[in-house]
């Protein structure tokens, strides 16, 4: 059992001292014929507080029972995942490094969903069950872009039921949510909160991009990664993945991969080990951030800097900029500037990739609005995959 040291404050002693001091003051005031009013006018009695509604306690009890019931049912299906990898230390050479995270049971075949960054680079992965049983696991599939991964354990030894998946169309800001995970290694910790925002785009330090992310104020800390975000019906609506914090701990801004992405990506990870992303076969640079906009022409958009040979962009006749190196600076000249896709304005690389991910699959045709030599034109491109 893990022991946690808690700083205790002598609240009882402080309260007792306040009460005694207050009583002594009243006695002294009465003995001197004084009142608490600043003049001789009798003080107005304080209004009596209205009693709580008759069913108030019943409502609180119902809420507590609902939360406790969800935890009791879902808690055993949340796994504590530990990973062991080898890293190079400047002084000690190659040394083992242990990581920790969370995951949840996805199906009856022993598949467990977690974050890619929880198991990335691991040579050994272990899963700790609610009863303390430790099972070895292997990676079934992983996707760095969405920061999702699936690992598998021996289903005959997994005494836990799959968690039901929620409906992405019913999510709304203000909705009550619960997070279960293993922050700082504290197994199956429950925190609660609400959905603070929807549709966030989150860029992680590992390079993953969470599109349409769920933002929540439910406390999420290191070790919660990969654990489920649940609605009040005990259904998974997201996979906790990241926080925004200057301290490294929870400040009430956490993010989860939405269930819509989980439903789209996880089945492919189980079936093939990877998820095929839609691609146009090109690389771009952002105007105004990575590349100076042209003196005459669009001030926003994406400059094409590289095109894959025989890829979708190449077959559509798009043109990449010419490059030359001036000391430590890369100078671009010419090249098509993409300003919109299917009429939707593009400003950043994420704008383009998220549109492709959310609205297209391989074989679809999209219309790119480009600027070539100061002239605007539309080009149709057949989406490929990567």
Q: Which residues are part of the catalytic machinery?
A: 117, 147, 225
Backbone angle region of 32, left / alpha / beta, with phi > 0 → left and psi within -120 to 50 → alpha:
alpha
CA gap 253, 61 in Å, rounded: 28
Nearest to 360 by CA among 339, 325, 328, 386: 386
Check: CB of residue 280 under 8 Å from CB of residue 310. Answer: no
* Cα gap 74→164, rounded to integer Å: 9
3-state secondary structure of 81: strand
CA–CA gap between residue 362 and residue 384 (Å, rounded): 5
Cβ atoms 86, 95 nearer than 8 A? yes
List all residues 6 or more positions away from 39 whose beta carbon is below 8 Å from its beta carbon. none
Residue reference for tokens 């929880």: 118
- Say how many CA atoms lie within 13 Å of 112 toward its Cβ: 35
Nearest residue to 307 (alpha-carbon basis) of 298, 299, 297, 316? 316
Residue by residue, DSSP assigns 274-308 as S-PPEE-SEEEEEBTTTBPPPSSS-SSSEEEEEE-
C-alpha 112/C-alpha 81 separation (Å) is 10
Question: Which residues, other chains included, contact 336 with Cβ-Cβ below 8 Å and sequence gap of 6+?
Answer: 303, 304, 318, 319, 320, 370, 371, 372
**111 alpha-carbon distance from chain centroid:** 21
Return the closest-CA partner of residue 128 out of 265, 2, 261, 232: 2
The CA distance from 243 to 221, in Å, is: 7
């Amino acid at each position: 059992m893990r022991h946690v040291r808690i700083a205790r404050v002598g609240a009882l002693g402080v309260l007792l001292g306040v009460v005694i001091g207050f009583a002594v003051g009243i006695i002294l005031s009465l003995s001197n014929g004084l009142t608490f009013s600043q003049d001789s006018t009798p003080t107005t009695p304080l209004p009596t507080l209205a009693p709580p509604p008759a069913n108030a306690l019943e409502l609180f009890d119902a809420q507590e029972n609902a939360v406790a019931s969800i935890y009791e049912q879902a808690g055993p299906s949340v796994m504590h995942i530990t990973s062991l990898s080898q890293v190079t230390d400047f002084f000690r050479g190659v040394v083992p490094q242990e990581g920790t995270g969370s995951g949840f049971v996805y199906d009856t075949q022993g598949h467990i969903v977690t974050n890619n960054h929880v198991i990335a680079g691991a040579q050994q992965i272990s899963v700790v069950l609610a009863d303390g049983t430790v099972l070895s696991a292997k990676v079934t599939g992983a996707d760095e872009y969405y920061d999702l991964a699936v690992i598998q354990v021996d289903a005959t030894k997994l005494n836990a039921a799959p968690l039901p998946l929620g409906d992405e169309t019913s999510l709304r800001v203000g909705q009550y949510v619960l997070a279960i995970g293993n922050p700082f290694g504290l197994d199956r910790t429950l925190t609660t909160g609400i959905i603070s925002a929807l549709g966030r785009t989150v860029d992680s330090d590992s390079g993953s991009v969470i599109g349409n992310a769920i933002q929540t104020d439910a406390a999420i800390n290191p070790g919660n990664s990969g654990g489920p975000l649940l609605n009040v019906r005990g259904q998974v609506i997201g996979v906790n993945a990241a926080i925004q914090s200057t301290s490294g701990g929870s400040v009430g801004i956490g993010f989860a991969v939405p269930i819509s992405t989980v439903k789209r990506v996880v089945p492919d990870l189980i079936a093939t080990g990877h998820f095929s992303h839609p691609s146009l076969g090109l690389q771009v640079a952002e105007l105004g951030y990575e590349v100076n906009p042209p003196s005459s022409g669009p001030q926003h958009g994406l400059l094409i800097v590289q095109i894959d040979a025989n890829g979708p962009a190449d077959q559509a006749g798009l043109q990449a900029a010419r490059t030359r190196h001036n000391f430590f600076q890369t100078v671009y000249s010419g090249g098509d500037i993409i300003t919109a896709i299917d009429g939707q304005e593009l400003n950043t690389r994420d704008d383009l990739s998220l549109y492709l991910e959310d609205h297209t699959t391989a074989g679809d045709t999209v219309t790119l609005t480009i600027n070539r030599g100061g002239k605007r034109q539309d080009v149709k491109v057949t989406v490929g995959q990567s």
